Copies of this chain bind each other. A is one copy, B any other.
């Protein structure tokens, strides 16, 4: 295998790439994939999916790919909105055009590919929404058994989407944390691969392709700032990993100015924003999380340290947005761009406006805002 696994805390733990990976056995923090050799940018293909970056993904020769056309999402420039917000240039990357209509497709595809390559009997995940749908779709594509644990209170259309793919769906009393416990218990008993956010190192590898794409779409240049609506953190983490890999591998000049990674959270569930501004290394779980942007309702993310480190390393920032501003941002984004914005994307746009107003984002900045899902998922 052309990669190894490393603990993200720097504790020094390493494991061979072909080993089934979960958290670091020394510090119970996430592991990350490190490649033994630098893939060449010239080796990338012109495939119509994120598999164009295959040399930079954890797949060994002879292993089977799975693909539903994930990635290669559009980057839409919005000059009029840039002027109004007061930034130099503004683009929105619309992740709602992925399979199963969210950025989750990228990561769950990669996790399913590894589960298949490792010969595991199945995959399981706790979910309140998009991750469960994405895992169900990719398990179906790979003909791999899957079991999804969701709170009984999950909106019926989401449960319907999971069921549409013919996987096992277990409803759990309580919230996403209870679903997480049930998933862990089942994984232990069954040998199924638990692919909860950053509990394994492969989802982030799929997520990082957002960073590769962004650079390729901008002619192998980078924006000054990336605003990412953040729940579990894997999107933000993944993009930053990609940026560092691209510089390390010579895809980008070694003196390139890396973007500031900025997270947007809902004011009703902002554990990472709170921890960032308090200068903490980890987040304290948010009590009584409330937001209609369900992808942001993650009170105690396992990727908290990794995300906070990303913000510090990138001279980034973190901004909380209240519910009314999320709604207004969502309508502004959809009605001014034609992108079917999800509330998460609306949150990121609203955060951008707030950061400019408070002087924390310079008016000469070039800015990429991520819309992580489809607004249609919220209409029922």
Contacts and interface: CB of A to CB of B under 8 A. Distances in A.
Interface stretch (A156-164, A228-236, A247-255): A156-164
A97 B98 CA distance: 6
Contact of A379 (B67, B73, B138, B161): B161
Contacts of A160: 379
A137 to B, nearest CB: 4
A74 B52 CA distance: 13
A246 interface: no
A377 interface: yes
A331 B139 CA distance: 15
A340 interface: yes
A156 to B, nearest CB: 7
A100 interface: yes
A80 B143 contact: yes
A308 interface: no
Contact of A140 (B166, B336, B379, B380): B336
Nearest to A164: B334
Q: Is the interface of A mostly helix, strand, loop or mixed?
A: helix
Contacts of A164: 330-331, 334-335, 340-341, 375, 379
Interface in A334-358: 334-341
A373 to B, nearest CB: 11
A67 B72 contact: no
A245 interface: no
Given A74-B49, A76-B68, A334 B99 contact: no
In the A-B complex, the 4 residue pairs with the smallest Cβ-Cβ separation, listed nearest first, are: A69-B74, A141-B338, A166-B335, A380-B380
Interface of A: 46, 48-49, 66-69, 72-74, 76, 80, 94, 97-101, 133, 137-143, 156-157, 160-161, 164-166, 217, 330-331, 334-341, 374-377, 379-380
